[in-house]
Amino acid sequence: MKELMNILVYITYDGILDPLGQSQIAPCVKNAAKTFDIVYVLSWEKPLNLAGLLDTSCFPDKVVWIKRKFNKGPSRKVGDLISMIWTLFFTVLKLGGRKKIVIHCRGHVGAAATWLACMVLQRMRNILVLFDYRGDWISERVDKGGWSYDSLLDRLSINVWRWLEFKVLHWADHINTLTARSAERISDIYSVDREKISVIPCAVDNSLFKVDPDARMRLKSFFPDLSPETVVLGYLGSIGPMYRFYSFVNLAKILVSQNPRKKFIFFVMTN
């Protein structure tokens, strides 16, 4: 009897064309292609990023990348969720029989869409689901200002997503999260079996990120007066409310008051 084909369907609301996607998701997809016979990637990309596509030649031939447009605004988010459900449903449906399918849901939106689509699909296919929890996305949206408890509509959205979160956490075959504390919280608050939760922290691939001996010379394009005694501190990442960027600014003020030779450089991207 012919062996089952192992297929991974990776669904993410975070675009691969975002800096985060290029640093976290793209390497994950390439590594997965070493294990699975075929990898389908379903991602929702910002229109600005779609204008200059990432070179897909970095992916092996066995990776099929299906891109959809990411939309802003509450009503359009509902449209994105519906788009995710239908895209996933028809992607899995067209794969046919005699296949073992693993669906990797990165984040809450992808997981909710998968749960809704699989109400039918799991009865028809040999499917396992991994909920890549990442973090408490609902609380993060409140911290960022995307939702407010002062708004009746936002409170309704929060309650709906908490309900969906509860359903998906109990339904998924396995869950992975970033920290041991997060795993304990999921297990305690939602009464999820701790044995089905794995902790996979964010990490750095040292084969990609190396110390550059010429870095100081390159910095002269930013700081022409750079001397061997100058200390340069860098900030790389987002500066939204939840990241407490003001704390780094306060640190910069204190350090400069102590030593005027200190320099600061910020690498941020917002769109």
Reading the chain (271 residues) residue by residue, the pLDDT tens digits are 456 789 999 999 988 888 788 888 988 999 999 999 999 999 999 888 877 655 555 688 899 999 998 887 766 778 889 999 999 999 988 887 778 899 999 999 999 999 999 887 776 678 899 999 998 999 988 988 889 999 999 999 999 999 999 999 999 999 999 999 999 999 999 999 999 999 998 877 777 677 777 877 888 888 888 887 788 888 887 787 778 888 888 888 888 888 877 888 888 766 5
Element (H, E) at 81: helix 74-93
What pLDDT score does 265 carry?
A: 81
Largest CA distance in the chain: 74
Residues 84 and 113: their CA atoms lie apart, in Å, by 6
Do residues 5 and 34 make contact, with C-beta atoms less than 8 angstroms apart? Answer: no
What pLDDT score does 77 carry?
A: 77
Token pair of 115, please?
A: 């749960």
Residues 252 and 262: their CA atoms lie apart, in Å, by 9
The whole-model pTM stands at 0.84
What sections of 94-214 are H helices per DSSP?
A: 107-121, 137-144, 152-171, 180-190
What pLDDT score does 71 carry?
A: 83
What pLDDT score does 1 carry?
A: 45
What pLDDT score does 271 carry?
A: 53
